[in-house]
Amino acid sequence: MITNILSVSDCTDQTSLSDFSPSDKPWDIHASERDQVRNLYLESGHPYARRISDCSQWLDFALTSTDSDEVAFKLQSSKFCRVRHCPVCQWRRSLKWRAKFFQVLPQIREVYPTARFIFLTLTVKNCELADLRSQITIMNKAWDRMAKRKSFPALGWVRSLEVTKSKDGSAHPHFHCLLMVPAGYFDKSGGYLNQSEWSDLWQSALRINYTPIVDVRTVKSKPGVEGDGIAAAVCETLKYSVKPDDLVSGSDWLLGLTKQLHKTRAVAVGGVLKQYLADLEKEPDDLIHVDESSQSGEELGRLRFDWRYEKKQYTT
């Protein structure tokens, strides 16, 4: 996102975005994945192929000066397909969600200054891809039951669904959850739950006869401290719902997922966090301005980069 002013003035034909701005390298990576996903849809004659073909084929950046005589690249316009499993769009969506979280975090901390966060992963047994949708319905209902229990300690929560592909081709759906708990939760009488107690609670909410695998971690977080654990936990919670490697692993898997996850909820928010983060449950209306950093420097110009399919790069 930041580069040197001199290198911009050296701009020649077909200079790549990642040469100008190494931190924008993810554009090339996700756009290559996007082409692979598009090709898989194309092979199967799925209508999403056409929509994805138009996605992010060009990027217009505004170049602004920074205090240290560098140039910041800020996306000004492009066109996104918004197909759920488009790797570019799911990346932008997750950046947008994260930015939203960090934008409201200071307000949350002002109202709940002593609250702490825990990061919880809840799993169920793997299922056939064809049964994924019904498995997700079961997990959602179980979550609702669990969140109503007296022993459920969270004041508020954010929950996302991730589905990974197992080696045997079955689906592994799981929830990543960020829970805000009262400071007293960690005291003897505060209702603290260890890993096996979380597992019991999840099992009873699921009404199943096996012990589900659960992982719980305390988020080490202090406002304003660098390396704040909350950032890592937010990034893990608000990431893609299907990892790119799995998306491009084959057309049967991609088409199955497309059908099974159609209109299922990727992110849910509850408790007192709902009033701050309800937007996370909706498709973001803007996938262009995904970082909240305000560039107040002088605008030096605009640069357009086009996607080069063969080179797998954005270049001028």
Return residues touching Zn ion (CB under 5 A). Answer: 55, 80-81, 86, 88-89
Q: Which is nearer to Zn ion, 40 or 81 (CB)?
A: 81
Min dist CB 122 to Zn ion, Å, is 29
Q: What are phi and psi of 180, to 5 degrees?
A: -95, 120
CA–CA distance, 51 with 36 (Å, rounded to integer): 14
Q: Which is nearer to Zn ion, 79 or 265 (CB)?
A: 79
CA–CA distance, 227 with 125 (Å, rounded to integer): 34
CA–CA distance, 152 with 191 (Å, rounded to integer): 8
Helix (H, G, I), strand (E, B) or coil at 145: helix
List Cα–Cα distances, 129 to 58, 86, 144, 175, in angstroms. 35, 19, 23, 17
Q: Which is nearer to Zn ion, 42 or 104 (CB)?
A: 42
Between 195-206 and 132-148, two packed helices, what is the crossing angle to 10 degrees? 110
Min dist CB 55 to Zn ion, Å, is 3
Among residues 116, 83, 137, 125, which one has the least CA distance to residue 260? 137
Q: Which is nearer to Zn ion, 81 or 261 (CB)?
A: 81
| Residue keyed to tokens 């049967």 | 252
Q: Which is nearer to Zn ion, 258 or 295 (CB)?
A: 258
Q: Which is nearer to Zn ion, 91 or 143 (CB)?
A: 91
Min dist CB 185 to Zn ion, Å, is 40
Min dist CB 89 to Zn ion, Å, is 3
Min dist CB 250 to Zn ion, Å, is 20
Min dist CB 255 to Zn ion, Å, is 17
| Greatest distance between any 2 Cα atoms in the chain | 67
